[in-house]
Amino acid sequence: MSSVDTVLARKEQKRSEKLAKEQERQERAIINAENLHKEVVMLENSSSSSDEDVDDLYPCTSACNSQKSSPPAKRGRHIVITPELAAALDRHKVSSRSAVMVVGEAAKSLGQDVSSLTLNKSSIQRHSEQYRMEFAASIRQNFQPDASLVVHWDGKLLPDLASRDTVDRLPILVSSCGGGSQLLSVPKLSAGTGAAQAHAVFEALNEWQIADNVEGLCFDTTSSNTGHKSGACVILEQLLRRDLLHLACRHHILELIAGSAFTEVMGASSAPEVLLFKRFKAHWQSVNQAQFEDSSTSQLTANAVADVKEDLGTFLMSALARDQTRDDFRELLEITLIFLGITPVRGIRFAAPGAMHQARWMTKIIYTFKIWMFRSQFSLSVREEKGLRELCIFFAKICQGLVHRSSSYCSTQQ
């Protein structure tokens, strides 16, 4: 009987010790949690102070580490941000917080007393915004055209500045007969409709006080602009209460020519990208660029372009002698020369395949030339090879007009 009582007593003792240890562990956890909470509260209180108070610690932490116990120095009053410095920081996309460290260390290296400077995030941001507003106001005030103006606009989908979404942006500028131009604004639109674009243009013209000088409209030939009821041109004429000269962009006609020819020969596709181009782009790493085949490698192709080869080669070489506003224009000129069997000034070179979206008319021409010239290294069906050959002949014969019109368009836009 006594042995049974001893066993039970030991079990009770172990249980009591276990409960005591568990209670002690819980008490320690509660104490640690309270201490951690106090530290978090202190950090939050210190971080919730104004940016100016936090940034004012910069001179002390960087130059007065040996005097931590001394009372804080008086706040600096010397303004260090100038309009030129603010513009330089904006051009290099330096944030206001990073500018504190950059400007502060630069001042220290020049022997300046950093504590005497007004150097904090809020002051830099405030002065930068003030200088931007003053600079914009001076541009508006100095822009006083005495001639008729043509207003240009073209909507673009761009990344939003405050989020990861894409938004409709509408660059608006005006040009005069003398060749000068001025960007008015790039507003964000709630929708890319003709009404939204027309009202944005009208507001920009009134803001610059040049609505009475506008005599013409330059626009692309989309339905949002050319619609006879809700198009931007019609609505803008109603807002300005007069008829205006319409200067529709002829550049988009080139898209119709190249796009219609490609669809007629290769077939229509509802995909956002041309699948043949996508296959070729993935195969490009395996292509030996030295083993290309120009028009002379095919008797049928050589005979088809024989009547335009000399004149077209002369035009393309003269066009390359001028400054090209875009790299894809230069690539189109050079690859057409290579197709004709003529070596460009920079030599024979092939750029890696780039964008292949359906809306890029020049992409269709460049890809067509490349795929046909490397047809022996790329798997093509009989129908695809025949279609690409016909397109190469067609594009070569109209290339002179395409490049001439496109270059003229970009020159007028600049």
Banded pLDDT at 360 (limits 50, 70, 90): low
pLDDT (tens digit, 9 = 90+) per residue, 253-302?
666 777 788 888 888 877 777 888 889 999 999 999 999 999 999 999 99
- Binned at pLDDT 50, 70 and 90, residue 409 comes out as very low
Angstrom distance (rounded) from CA 117 to CA 105: 12
Structural domains in the chain plus CATH codes: 52-142 (no CATH), 149-249 (3.30.420.10), 253-413 (no CATH)
Q: Vertex 308, ends 259 and 293: CA angle to 5°?
A: 75
pLDDT of residue 338: 93
Q: Which two tokens stand for residue 278?
A: 């996508």
pTM of the model: 0.54
Least confident of 11-20, 30-39, 373-382: 30-39
Q: With a cut of 50, say whether residue 119 has pLDDT above it.
A: yes
Q: How confident is the model at residue 200, as a pLDDT?
A: 95
Q: Which of 31-40, 171-180, 402-411 has the lowest mean pLDDT?
A: 402-411
Interacting residues of 255 by C-beta distance below 8 A, sequence separation 6+: 359, 361
217 band by pLDDT with thresholds 50, 70 and 90: very high
Give yes or no for residue 175 having a pLDDT over 70.
yes
Residue of 248 and 194 predicted with greater confidence: 194
Cβ contacts of 177 within 8 Å, gap of 6 or more: 147, 148
